[in-house]
Structure 1
Amino acid sequence: MTMPADTGASVTMTLDEVRALARTVLRRQGLNARHAEAVAETMVAGERDGCASHGLYRLLVSAHTIASGNVVPDAEPVATDTAPALVRVDAKGGYAQLAFELGKPLLVEKARRCGIAALALNNCVHFAALWPEVEALCDEGLVALAFTPSHAWVAPAGGTRPVFGTNPIAFGWPRPGREPFVFDLATSAVARGEIELHRRAGRAIPEGWGIDPEGRPTTDAAEALAGAMLTFGGHKGSALAAMVELIAGPLIGDMTSRESLAADNGAKASPLGGELLIAIDPAGFLGAGAEEHIRRAEAMFDEITSQGARLPSQRRYEARRRSVAEGVRIPRVLLDDIERLRK
């Protein structure tokens, strides 16, 4: 593809151009077509929804992970029907996106049959946000939760050494005729990609995001990356991070964040481990009354927005509408780095 014209510090691209660039670079780096398409869609979602740390910047992360040999570029995930309400997908060391695509139809089917079902993704490389997965399940009319550990980058509350990953939690609630209610939050004070973007830009990070290698508070992004990140909300975020470690690690037979970092062996590649998704069919609990109770939830949303408060994901949806109409602006320096990956 031809790179868009340079207009200064940033370049405006359509979402189709973002998609084509991501696929081209991923294929050039060695991913097979199916993985490249699935991974590229996650990056498109990041740019589309105004979350640059999960957009094209992740091409640099993926290129490094592929070059390190820490992801299987042509892995073929395998699904196992383990129980009436459980399904497991072994990603075989490949990216989580393709494993989710394989497991999603089975998860949806089981949730509708049993009322609630769970999908375990094992042995997968995960580098992205979780909102695309829960939103995809909401599009099927299901309530959804997702959890995944990462590498041990985050210190527990009161500690100075990394134990947890950024350990995100995502939740989705379907809204008839509207975008679903979705939140996707790291149990760390911020996503690691945000600190990396600050480092690349030479900008200080806010206090409370991280500590240096000696355990002292720092506003230096590089020092925080070398030391430890912090959880949000002190002991509350720390407890949630521990929960994610347990239910998306040992509970599904996969690695904790410390084990994932040890397996990385200094390569600084994307985390290898597991993801747990839970899908709930409202009709499974409510039967014919499901629609009425879903409408009651809308009254709560109206109470929130009528007083000027913003629903989680509202800003993403606003960015999405702008991106579809106007395209997205990508920093020139990032595109220069990406261009080097195509050579």
Structure 2
Amino acid sequence: MTARYSEDELIARLFAPIAGPAGLGLADDAALLPASAEPTVATVDMLVAGVHFFPDDPPALIAKKALRVNLSDLAAKGAEPIGFLLALALPHDWTNAWLTAFAQGLGEDAKAYAAPLIGGDTTATPGPLTISITALGRAPRFVPRAGARPGDAVFVSGTIGDAALGLVLRRDPALAARLPAEARAHLDDRYRLPRPRLDLVAALRAQATAAMDVSDGLAGDLAKLCRASGVSAVVEAPLVPLSPAAQEAIARAPAHFETALTGGDDYEILFTAGPGRDPPPGAVRIGEIVAGRTAPTFLDATKTQIVFGKMSFSHF
């Protein structure tokens, strides 16, 4: 039986090769970032096995999800990534093979998104696998949540609800069996592997008055943006973009339309922009910011208000 890597060995063999110059070969106590005239943006997200991903998911996909959810936050702020810090709490049953695959997936995304590893920490835990990533970026213009104004249009990128429905299918094999294989695969992929919208960074800097990524559900995250901005919103639910796979799932279980709008894990960008603005490619207008401090109103095709059982996912 091959002995597991020591802490020094796993850093040297698996993580130092994917570190950027600021990480100093992961041989020092801290990273050294070059000075810049642009503001630095920092964000952190923690992922816990059994909460944010299934423990038996492929380790490379777990690593990529952990990095991508942080890159999604940077994108929503108009920031381009410059690197990240990794804190990894490993349970007693980790193996060299698992950790090698994890580091390989992490390195692939670090290269693809020009976001090198620059430092971190590893430790043992009696609890579940826990991954915390702190991502750093730079933005000549930071796009806040607190900037939406009455009359602004509300936009969202991509499609909404795919990841939440992918999670539903993992938990409901009977519903999954009623969907075409292609639809099942699409929804599962969106749950396991977010697509950070770094392609929208330039457009957000140029025209967004407020923005955030959709991590806890469109309805709830719009409510957060509105609270921060001191406004409300009206959304036309039929305008919310749904993928063909999501439409297939909702057609078979209509109650999951609410899941799509409130379930979370989309990692798309929700943003507002002044009247008359055309959305950038990949985004659509779904509503309007209005005066007031009430929760956003969602209207169906008959202009009747939709009442949700809950607005978003919450850990507590």
TM-score, normalization: structure 2?
0.28
Tell me which protein shows more helix as a share of its residues.
1
